[in-house]
């Protein structure tokens, strides 16, 4: 009799042996682990950023509340019209930069004073352009300090305090004009109100030593504050780019907040 056992074998046995694990995932296990690790790292990065933003917001709210409760207008000291406190309003990482800009503003004011005194000596030395130099230097001393404070120092102060693009671009425009003005004053063309380099050399040549010395000090002041502002201008430009600010964003902020945001705190 024919052996029927061969007809009763498991019909799926040979198929299973020829194609083991037909539904096995073709992606190797290490790839799955790598993908999971990458997703986890991304989630952790996003969580860290969110925590940093929340912490910064809390710090700003605390500072704003502190200023609201205890702060008051304190600048300028002789007639306070605004509140100015680098320690309370500027994030810790940028306090040194803003302090240096504030110091450079004082160097500018001091240079304008010395420049005016030098022009007085230029006039008394018999210079034919002395009257024009003195008149212009007095005008500079009256106009430049408040304009420079309001048009380039205060905007960048607000920029780092509020981290808004509008203030950065105000700073870039008006500080750019200030850098050109500083170069103009460094040159010291006679009758322009500057006791800079050309005026200083003429005073030494004519034997007006006092005017020459004061012109030297004024020239050093113009160079010091001009070069210092140029260095910080470049640093702030890099920060603005890294922060992702743009002209379009500045326009949107202006449309949303208006000019009154310039005078608000927090």
- Domain range list for the chain: 34-71, 88-262
**Per-residue three-class SS string for the chain:** CCCCHHHCCCCCHHHHHHCCCCCCCCCCHHHHHHHHHHHHHHHHHHHHHHHHHHHHHHHHHHHHHHHHHHCCCCECCCCCCECCCHHHHCCHHHHHHHHHHHHHHHHHHHHHHHHHHHHHHHHHCCCCCHHHHHHHHHHHHHHHHHHHHHHHHHHHHHHHHHCCHHHHHHHHHHHHHHHHHHHHHHHCCCCCCCCCHHHHHHHHHHCCHHHHHHHHHHHHHHHHHHHHHHHHHHHHHHHHHHCCCCHHHHHHHHHHHCHHHHHCCC
- Kindly report the pTM of this predicted structure: 0.73
pLDDT digits (tens, 9 = 90+) for 76-107: 988 898 999 999 999 999 999 999 999 999 99
**Residue 3, pLDDT score:** 52
pLDDT digits (tens, 9 = 90+) for 23-40: 555 555 555 565 667 778
How would residue 236 be classed by pLDDT, with cut points 50, 70 and 90?
very high
């Amino acid at each position: 009799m024919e052996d029927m056992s061969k007809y009763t074998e498991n019909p799926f046995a040979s198929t299973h042996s020829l194609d083991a694990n037909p539904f096995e995932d073709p992606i190797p296990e290490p790839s799955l682990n790598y993908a999971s690790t990458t997703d986890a790292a991304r989630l952790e990065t996003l969580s860290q950023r969110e925590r940093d933003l929340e912490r910064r917001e809390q710090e700003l709210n605390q500072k704003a509340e502190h200023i609201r409760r205890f702060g008051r207008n304190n600048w300028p000291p002789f007639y306070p019209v605004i509140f100015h406190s680098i320690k309370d309003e500027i994030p810790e990482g940028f306090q040194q930069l803003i302090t240096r800009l504030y110091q450079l503003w004082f160097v500018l004011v001091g240079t304008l004073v010395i420049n005016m005194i030098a022009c007085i000596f230029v006039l008394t030395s018999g210079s034919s352009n002395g009257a024009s130099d003195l008149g212009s230097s007095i005008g500079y001393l009256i106009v430049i300090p408040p304009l420079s404070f309001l048009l380039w120092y205060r905007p960048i102060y607000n920029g780092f305090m509020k981290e808004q693009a509008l203030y950065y671009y105000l700073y870039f425009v008006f500080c750019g004009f200030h850098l050109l003005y500083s170069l103009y004053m460094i040159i010291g063309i006679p009758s322009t109100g500057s006791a800079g380099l050309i005026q200083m050399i003429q005073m030494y040549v004519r034997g007006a030593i006092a005017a020459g010395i004061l012109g030297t000090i004024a020239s050093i002041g113009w160079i010091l504050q001009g070069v210092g502002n140029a260095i910080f201008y470049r640093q702030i430009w890099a920060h603005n780019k890294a922060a992702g600010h743009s002209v379009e964003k500045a326009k949107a902020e202006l449309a949303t907040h208006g000019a009154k945001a310039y005078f608000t705190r927090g």
